[in-house]
Amino acid sequence: MDRILIVEDEEAIARFVELELRHEGYDVGKAGDGRTGLDMALSGQYQLVLLDIMLPELSGLEVIRRLRRESQIPVIMLTARDTVMDKVSGLDMGADDYITKPFAIEELLARIRTALRKRPQAAPADAGLTCGPLRMDVARHTVTCREQPVELTSREFEVLKLLLENQQIVLSRDTFLAKVWGYDYMGETNVVDVYIRYLRSKIDDAFGVDLIHTVRGVGYVLREG
Ligand code: CA
């Protein structure tokens, strides 16, 4: 079931949209300010974000600007002001679509279906990324180990995906930085070690498996045993 995040400070609107979405069979989360909304959107728990523009803490435009550094989750902007600038800014920053309030719920639902369809197509069900008991469904953004869900942040998910796609191959910290953080990343290189530690704690330690290995002086490799 797809989970949709509503980031909207007007409780009446948020509540109305939530009820309609639940009626359509979606799971729904809500955030009443931009900062909470950004954190929730990055949690990896949602498949689509409905994002108001005028929000406390962080504006909707700022939320999408920061969100797009890490995530390609579909975003539909909800804007009260039918101004060209808001739409253009939002689309420039990576929103997938926008809808102007007040909107007909049917139109919103149609746009949600379209945005969800545009996601990268799922690989065939039997072709998920797996390594022993570990399984990743990239399209659904889910990871399981021994059939139990593993809750990952979106960055942890990307690090693990790179490992799964390159099983048996030792990856250097620079490779992780380039592929996951981007070439313009200027921070500490030990951020990779930190994320590997998070993943080990959530997978190897939590499930008593031995999948993520350190190759001293070189980097990390994912393999069984
Ligand atoms: Ca608002």
Tell me the longest C-alpha to C-alpha distance in the chain. Answer: 58
Q: What rounded mean pLDDT belongs to the chain?
A: 89
The predicted pLDDT at position 123 comes to: 42
Give the Cα separation of 99 and 78 in Å (integer).
Answer: 5
**pLDDT score recorded for residue 120:** 57
- How far from chain centre, in Å, is Cα 153? 8
Cα–Cα distances in angstroms (integers) from residue 124 to residues 114, 121, 139, in the given order: 21, 9, 10
CA of 8 to the centre of ligand 1 (A): 6
Sign of CA dihedral 20, 113, 105, 142: positive
| pLDDT score, position 124 | 46
Joined together, the tokens standing for residue 205 give: 């330690």
Q: The whole model's pTM is what?
A: 0.55
Residues with Cβ < 8 Å from 43, sequence gap 6 or more?
A: 153, 154
pLDDT tens track for 112-145: 999 998 765 444 444 578 999 999 998 888 999 9
120, 136, 162, 96: CA torsion to nearest 10: 30
Decide: 219 and 189 in contact? Cβ < 8 Å.
no
CA of 102 to the centre of ligand 1 (A): 12
What pLDDT, in 10s, does the model give residues 15-62? 999 999 999 999 999 999 999 999 999 998 999 999 999 899 999 999
CA dist 162 and 109 (Å) reads 34
pLDDT of residue 70: 85
Distance from the alpha carbon of residue 34 to the mean position of ligand 1, in angstroms: 10
SS3 per residue for 112-125:
HHHHHHCCCCCCCH
C-alpha distance across the termini of the chain, in Å: 34
SS (H, E, C) 13-73: HHHHHHHHHHHCCCEEEEECCHHHHHHHHCCCCCCEEEEECCCCCCCHHHHHHHHCCCCCC
CA distance 179 to 189: 13
pLDDT at 190: 86
Q: Residue 92's pLDDT is what?
A: 76
pLDDT (0 to 100) of residue 185: 72
CA–centroid distance, 110 to ligand 1, in Å, is 22
Residue where the block lists tokens 């009443």: 32
C-alpha 139 – ligand 1 centre gap (Å): 31
State yes or no: pLDDT of 177 exceeds 60. yes
Residue 108's pLDDT band (cuts 50, 70, 90): very high
- Domains of the chain by start residue, with CATH: 3-117 (3.40.50.2300), 128-222 (1.10.10.10)
DSSP letters along 142-186, please? EEEETTEEE---HHHHHHHHHHHHTTTS-EEHHHHIIIII-TT--
**Confidence check: pLDDT of 156 > 80:** yes
Tell me the CA–centroid distance for residue 155 and ligand 1, in Å.
28
